[in-house]
Amino acid sequence: MESVLVGEQTMKIVAFAAEYVQRNNLKKTPIYSAVRFAKYLSDMDVKTVTTGHLTTVKERCQADGLSQWTIKGTLKDLRTLIRASGRDIKTDRIKTPEPKSKPVSFAVIDSIWPRLPEWCQQWLVVSYWTALRLEDSIRLQQSLTGTEEFLEIVASKTGHRQRWPITDWLRQYLQPIELPYGGSLDWSASIVRTTLKAASGTSPVLPNHIRDRSLNEWYRLGVGDLVHGSGLHKLGVMRHYIDPLEQLATVAPRLAVPSCIRSVPESVTTEESLLANFRALDPAAKTLISATAERLAGT
């Protein structure tokens, strides 16, 4: 991989990252890391970055609740940029423990809901329904038009195109509203984290806690892999024959959700649940149920 050498020329770290990515035809991750560095400190000359600066970035990332994987990746990117400028620098070793699920309870979600602004309530619904990573859930929220037949996004980490059905109760939350986001996705993600923390008090609720609860509930229905995205890869050649959206649509009405967000009449949700259960039956059972329903309707 080619290094970007700037000699004695001064180059700000964000611009340096952009040039490095372009010259080496890389993904934009080093640019995001440089922007994060500039947000926490300043957009300084890449040749003046010290170990102390990187330690400060690590501490600020931890204070903002970023994952160990994100922090490790950020420091790795920054060190790569510094090396490409002709220097070397050491960084603190970041342990990356096995992911530990921390699903937030429905009771906690119900308790913080009234304290969330409308835009964050919408984000929470979208995030819970899709189990997307934070930045992807923000992108999906920004794209809402209120006329969608289904929700769809290309996941930033895997590149997979993912789709989710829309139930009657969900549609009420998909209308475009004014959002506080702006600038980078990293900055927008920080707004979500800060808002959730402010609403949850002494026991902070983080975006990954919402996602963990969502994945647990989707897995209870047997479609967690499809929601997570890993199931798309596991399907292999069957991806040409099986429609993941249709698979999700058959069970989506039965997904358990916090009571605070499911405010449509019970008759509607019951009808959805009956239809979903009927679709899941084998042909013989469907015939029996249909015959029984016709007999009862005729009495």
pLDDT at 114: 95
Query: What are the tens digits of pLDDT across the range 225-269?
Result: 888 766 555 656 666 667 888 889 999 999 999 999 876 444 434
pLDDT at 9: 65
Query: Which pTM was predicted?
Result: 0.62
Lowest-confidence segment of 38-42, 68-72, 104-108, 188-192 by average pLDDT: 68-72
Overall average pLDDT of the 17-22 stretch:
91
232 HSE (CA, 13 A, CB side): 15
126 HSE (CA, 13 A, CB side): 29
pLDDT at 4: 45
CB-neighbour burial class of residue 159 (10 A; exposed 0-12, middle 13-18, buried 19+): exposed
Token readout for 296 is: 């009862």
Torsion, Cα 208 211 213 214, to 10 degrees, reads 180
Confidence of residue 5 (pLDDT cuts 50, 70, 90): very low
pLDDT at 171: 93
pLDDT(275) > 80: no
Q: Among residues 180, 164, 166, which one has the least CA distance to residue 118? A: 180
Amino acid of residue 189 = A
Q: Are strands 151-154 and 161-164 parallel, antiparallel or unpaired?
A: antiparallel
What are the structural domains, with CATH classification, of the chain?
Answer: 13-84 (no CATH), 106-264 (1.10.443)
